[in-house]
Structure 1
Amino acid sequence: MITGKNTIGTLNSARGTDTFKTFNPVENRENPWVFHQATKDEIDQAVQLATEAFGQYKNFSGKRKAEFLRAIADEIEEIGEDLITTYMAESGLPEGRARGERGRTMVQLRAFADLLEEGSWVEATIDVGQADKEPMPKPDIRKMLFPIGPVAVFGASNFPLAFSTAGGDTASALAAGCPVIVKGHPLHAATGELVSSAILKAAEKTNMPNGVFSNLNSSGISVGQELVQHPEIKAVGFTGSIAGGTAIYKLASTREVPIPVFAEMGSVNPVVVLPSAFEQSAHWAKQYALSITNGTGQFCTNPGLILGVKGDDFTQFIGTLGEEIAQISPASMLHPNIYKAFEKGIEVVTASGKTSLVGAYKGEAAPNFGKAKVLTVDADVFIANPALHHEVFGPYSLVVQCDSDQELEAAINALEGQLTGTLLGNSKELSEKTSIVDALKEKVGRLILNGVPTGVEVCAAMHHGGPFPSTTNAKYTSVGVSAITRWTRPVAYQNWPLELLPEALQNENPLKIHRIVDGIHTFNTI
């Protein structure tokens, strides 16, 4: 049963008078549930509980935190069909997407549990002291990662499960030892409440401290602003627009004590089509039509930009891409406001009068259903007009036609930072066109060869991040187990009594983890 209340530790609270409802974009009507926006007092209470919980939770063993994360995954699964139907009612996304995202959410939680049980993620590094070293004794110095404190996580509009209440930011922060306060996304507040209930059941079953998790409802920006500015919040995780992410980043940086914001924001994910790709021209045209419209284009890895050098083969590829796009029926977007923003974004692109249509769905569409569209423009126009570089959130892509490899490289150099960059071609071309490959590498966090950018594997080697404005810090990923390091800081112990060191730094290596001892990677004792 959906209560519409805020979750403040174990307490359900609805003190405020400001309320809102979520919206079913497929049926084009409001959902029945009424949600109470969190008040300042409720925010303060949630942060206070998180601060108190941190005092205990930061010292829990990897095994104990792993039990908590696995219990969350189990409880999410236990919700059953109510989660799927609620997800669909609030997002307009189909059943297959709902089930897939639920599975991914559980996979993420269990992957972090495995990481915790293995234990080497703390990056234990030891330089053993040498009292007889000349000309001065060498101190004994031992370093490892520790959690930084309560974390605020902003739910994402386009991933009600995998990047929201129990998504990657929450899972990685809890794994690190940081209590989490989620600022729920107003588009899927009921989905968030169901997942919050699962987290709290897991917390109770595994004896976690009260306040290790809270979920606050919000229909505007005030709750988020209060959280970011609260002195006891030590970091922020965000997935959303460039405007939203940069506003949060600026707010956090102007606090009396600034805090890090790990924001994943906009990306057009450029795709460079090299000549050998035209040997499979029809194949790639079909694959990219499907990728552009996957999830109604509402992915941060949507291929919003395709670049190539003019010629008969490229012209044929563009024509086939247009034909494929025209055949793909529209699907619901997440909300009427997102649909309107999609339409407005295309208006901005076409306002220059120098783009032309490649292909678009011409039939009728229900309200809030986004019609796919691909446009094309010459590279010199693209380079000179930064408005053409911006993400249009929805089933859309822009094809940039270049006169030469040199102009192709110039178009890439004109781009802002991106999450991904893709090359379609063969090894010979990659070795011959190194300046193009290098230019693309400078702009992105992940280089893809002969594939599509949509789809982000949850694994240790994944890097889901990139230069600004795709993220606020290109060094960190929001997908994969490496995401845990965002919520930590290193602490070095110098000349510390051996028996008082954390287990990860003790000579006997009781945790049996991988460490670096005097520059040597080892599992051995000292």
Structure 2
Amino acid sequence: MTLTGDLLIGASRVPATAGTMKALNPATGELIEPEFALGGASEVDRAVRLADEAFDSYSHTGLVERAAFLDLVADKLEAVKEELAARLALETGLPAAQFEGEATRTAGVFRKFATVVRQGRFLQATIDPAQPERQPAPRVDHRLQKVALGPVVVFGASNFPISYSVAGGDTASALAAGCPVIVKAHNAHPGASEIEGRVIQEAVAEAGLHEGVFSLLRGPGNEIGEALVDHPLVRAVTFTGSEVGGMALYRRAQKRPDPIPVFTEMTSVNPTFVLPAALAARGAEIGAGLVQRAMYNVGQACLKPAVLLAVDGPGFGELRDAAAAEIEKAAARTMLTPGIRDAYTRNAQRLESGGASRIAAGQEPAGAGDGQSLLYEVSGEQLLAEPALREEVFGPAVLLVRLTGPDQLIEVARAFRGQLSATLHAEAADRATAGQLLPILERRTGRIVFNAFSIPQEVSYASTHGGPFPATSDSRFTSVGMGAIERFVRPVTYQNFPDELLPEPLREANPLHLWRVVDGELTQH
């Protein structure tokens, strides 16, 4: 498709009102055509009002119709995956093949949400039938289902420019719930954002839906993001990025006259604990495997296993040497943006200022945008004494922590803030220590991995990509997996309604053949 650079507001392509920008190739430093439109508060108002106009009809689409729309998006996304991947290779410096895979996986997410919608379990249809003869007081009929919140704003992320961006899981889950979506595209990949946005825009039109179901905006600075969070018709916001950026949006939303939820995914070091018997049995394997996974996407992944903790003893030297060997052979690669590259340099220096010793380094950078792989080491005492050592370094750096024994391992585990994931490597002889560690980790993360690594993560019905603050702003929800739809629905009870006025999922005859809880029993009748 030919990129126009326009904003996409409903069915319209809208030219710039707040200037233009070009994409930057971070590998070469060159600007890439075409120019892309930037908008402001007036475009925000137009997009949000269209979304609000669309809400009543879209949120009441039949489950079959809505699922078919999600399948259509998936088909269209796969149809442009090669073009999308080629554009992303220019805008990120990462391999095109990586993005073809990401597009295929993201199309799969849309299809999985189509299945979720058809099954209707997310509605949590619940019926307490009338009991007119009940004593001492009769019970009137009560019926509950979840309904969509309203227009949702999605802030696109920089590090996964498909699966966490315009056509990513946040958009898919909000649309599945019945919420129109306004995406604030990330300015690091405007061309890819337009391709994804036009895919959804075309699917909306072909499905015969209200044009306000989807819009795509870009803007300079923070103005457009603040206008989106402030708009009184917006009912929820999603954000993936830094703790500073996420908390600024969260606090702004809580200061509205009508506060709204902001579902953030912000920061995590995903600590990996190697218990003594596992260390002795396979220390080298764990050290090499962890670094290989930490280098994925040049270390620019929210699930990167960034901190490796092990008790000094049999196998520690092998783990350390294997991790160092993997680091040393790693090529310096282009990071997503110059700003991310600069922040990586500053944060690596922060580790050194906090007392971390550099014990291995990858190949020297060849270009200004390259990130060099680094391995640092600290003692357990240092990690406990210096909170900065427990903070995320977004990029290809790993911190190895040398512990004195199982007691210090437990003490260090308690020192971590909320995480997206935590990992245990253990053998049968480690089960007692693992049993002590589990309750500590359960309080600090939403996903515990056993004898594997934190990345990659399966997108499934049992997936959780969330955790206590600062990993996310609300640990009750996930941004990855089929449970992500729960962010965008709320319960409504219909009391004493005539059957013909009830939503279809709650009618007596169960015309959609959904699983429902009737008088406390799960049934399809």
Class of the TM-score when normalised by the shorter of the 2 chains: over 0.9
Letter in 1 for 2:219: S
For 1:274, the equivalent position in structure 2 comes to 275
Cα distance 1:127–1:378, how it changes in 2: closer, same or farther (>3 A)?
Answer: same
For 1:132, the equivalent position in structure 2 comes to 133
For 1:243, the equivalent position in structure 2 comes to 244
1:301 aligns with 2:303: yes
For 1:289, the equivalent position in structure 2 comes to 291
Q: Which runs of 5+ in 1 are unaligned?
A: none
What is the deviation of 1:99? Answer: 0.9
What is the deviation of 1:421? Answer: 0.3
Question: Bigger shift: 515-524 or 296-305?
Answer: 515-524
Q: Distance in 1 between matches of 2:230 and 2:504?
A: 35
Question: Bigger shift: 71-80 or 213-222?
Answer: 71-80
Cα distance 1:41–1:409, how it changes in 2: closer, same or farther (>3 A)?
Answer: same
For 1:154, the equivalent position in structure 2 comes to 155
For 1:81, the equivalent position in structure 2 comes to 82
For 1:67, the equivalent position in structure 2 comes to 68
Question: Bigger shift: 113-122 or 102-111?
Answer: 113-122
TM-score scaled by structure 1? 0.97
1:105 aligns with 2:91: no
1:429 aligns with 2:430: yes
Q: Is the 8 A contact 1:18 1:37 kept in 2?
A: yes
For 1:178, the equivalent position in structure 2 comes to 179
What is the deviation of 1:357? Answer: 1.9
Q: Secondary structure at the match of 1:469?
A: coil
Cα distance 1:431–1:506, how it changes in 2: closer, same or farther (>3 A)?
Answer: farther
> Structure 2 matches for 1:31-430, cutoff 5 A?
31-278=32-279, 279-352=281-354, 354-430=355-431
Letter in 2 for 1:501: L
For 1:511, the equivalent position in structure 2 comes to 512
Letter in 2 for 1:171: A
Letter in 2 for 1:333: M
Letter in 2 for 1:116: V
Q: Distance in 2 between matches of 1:292 and 1:219?
A: 32
Q: Is the 8 A contact 1:421 1:441 kept in 2?
A: no
Q: Is the 8 A contact 1:185 1:219 kept in 2?
A: no
Cα distance 1:503–1:17, how it changes in 2: closer, same or farther (>3 A)?
Answer: closer
Q: Is the 8 A contact 1:130 1:140 kept in 2?
A: yes
What is the deviation of 1:17? Answer: 3.6
Q: Is the 8 A contact 1:319 1:358 kept in 2?
A: no
Q: Distance in 1 between matches of 2:363 and 2:167?
A: 39
Q: Distance in 2 between matches of 1:134 and 1:28?
A: 77
Q: Distance in 2 between matches of 1:99 and 1:471?
A: 28
What is the deviation of 1:204? Answer: 1.1
Letter in 2 for 1:153: V
Cα distance 1:310–1:292, how it changes in 2: closer, same or farther (>3 A)?
Answer: same
Q: Distance in 1 between matches of 2:270 and 2:215?
A: 34
Q: Distance in 2 between matches of 1:409 and 1:458?
A: 30
Question: Bigger shift: 463-472 or 379-388?
Answer: 379-388
For 2:459, the equivalent position in structure 1 comes to 458
Per-residue CA deviation, residues 188-212 of structure 1 (Å, 9 max, x unaligned), is 1110001111111111111010111
What is the deviation of 1:281? Answer: 2.1
What is the deviation of 1:367? Answer: 2.5
Q: Secondary structure at the match of 2:212?
A: coil
Q: Is the 8 A contact 1:365 1:371 kept in 2?
A: no
Q: Distance in 2 between matches of 1:277 and 1:137?
A: 62
Q: Secondary structure at the match of 1:491?
A: strand
Letter in 1 for 2:347: G
Per-residue CA deviation, residues 76-98 of structure 1 (Å, 9 max, x unaligned), is 22225321111111111112211
Q: Is the 8 A contact 2:229 2:237 kept in 1?
A: yes
Cα distance 1:35–1:129, how it changes in 2: closer, same or farther (>3 A)?
Answer: same
Aligned residues: 523
1:4 aligns with 2:5: yes
Letter in 2 for 1:521: L
Q: Is the 8 A contact 1:72 1:202 kept in 2?
A: yes
Letter in 1 for 2:218: N
Cα distance 1:433–1:70, how it changes in 2: closer, same or farther (>3 A)?
Answer: closer
What is the deviation of 1:19? Answer: 1.8
What is the deviation of 1:326? Answer: 0.6
Question: Bigger shift: 397-406 or 60-69?
Answer: 397-406
Q: Distance in 2 between matches of 1:176 and 1:440?
A: 31
Per-residue CA deviation, residues 272-316 of structure 1 (Å, 9 max, x unaligned), is 001222312222122112011111000000011111112242133
Q: Distance in 1 between matches of 2:467 and 2:327?
A: 28
Letter in 2 for 1:76: L
Per-residue CA deviation, residues 448-503 of structure 1 (Å, 9 max, x unaligned), is 01111111211100011100000011010111111111101100111111221111
Q: Secondary structure at the match of 2:446?
A: strand
Question: Bigger shift: 89-98 or 389-398?
Answer: 89-98
Per-residue CA deviation, residues 122-155 of structure 1 (Å, 9 max, x unaligned), is 1011111111111111121111100010000000
What is the deviation of 1:18? Answer: 2.0
Q: Distance in 1 between matches of 2:269 and 2:229?
A: 28
Letter in 1 for 2:478: T
Q: Distance in 2 between matches of 1:425 and 1:109?
A: 36
Q: Secondary structure at the match of 2:295?
A: helix
Letter in 2 for 1:264: E
Kindly report the root-mean-square deviation, in angstroms, between the aligned alpha carbons of the 2 structures.
Answer: 1.3
Q: Distance in 2 between matches of 1:284 and 1:512?
A: 48
Q: Is the 8 A contact 1:25 1:332 kept in 2?
A: yes
Q: Distance in 1 between matches of 2:81 and 2:319?
A: 44
Q: Which runs of 5+ in 2 are unaligned?
A: none
Q: Is the 8 A contact 2:352 2:358 kept in 1?
A: no
Identity of aligned residues (%): 39
For 1:489, the equivalent position in structure 2 comes to 490
Q: Distance in 2 between matches of 1:325 and 1:229?
A: 45
Q: Secondary structure at the match of 2:474?
A: coil
Q: Secondary structure at the match of 1:417?
A: coil
Q: Is the 8 A contact 1:430 1:437 kept in 2?
A: no
